[in-house]
Structure 1
Amino acid sequence: MQYQSGDGQSFSEKADVKRNSRNDGNVLVRAGHFGYTAPDGTPISLSYIADEHGFRAIGDHIPQPPAY
């Protein structure tokens, strides 16, 4: 599924059923991306995956923990 609005918002997502990491069952894996322009004009782009290991998001605007 994907769409793009007239104001530049975009969204796409796909889902697949895959074998789990223990190889004893199946798991739904959803992966996608969305983007928009923040009120200050900054382009926001976020990709994600959700599976048996949880929801993981990737984006330059997401705060990161300090490096040790």
Structure 2
Amino acid sequence: MADDLEKRIRANRRRHTAASGRVEQLDAELSAMVKEALETKSHTWQEIAELLGRVAGREPLSKQRVYQIKEGRR
């Protein structure tokens, strides 16, 4: 029984590690998109805040949060 639990926990942690790496990659891609949009002035922080909020099914993000995403901070 204990061996089965260990196997399941190890499998869970492997899946978690794999998923975490993918999340980091996607966060970096989002950061680059936001940074490019702001630097090229193709979108304002307000437009980005509205878009990110809408995509998440929420209210617009704050200015602070948009710039955190731009800088790659979580």
TM-score of the superposition, structure 2-length normalised?
0.18
User: Larger helix proportion, structure 1 or 2?
Assistant: 2
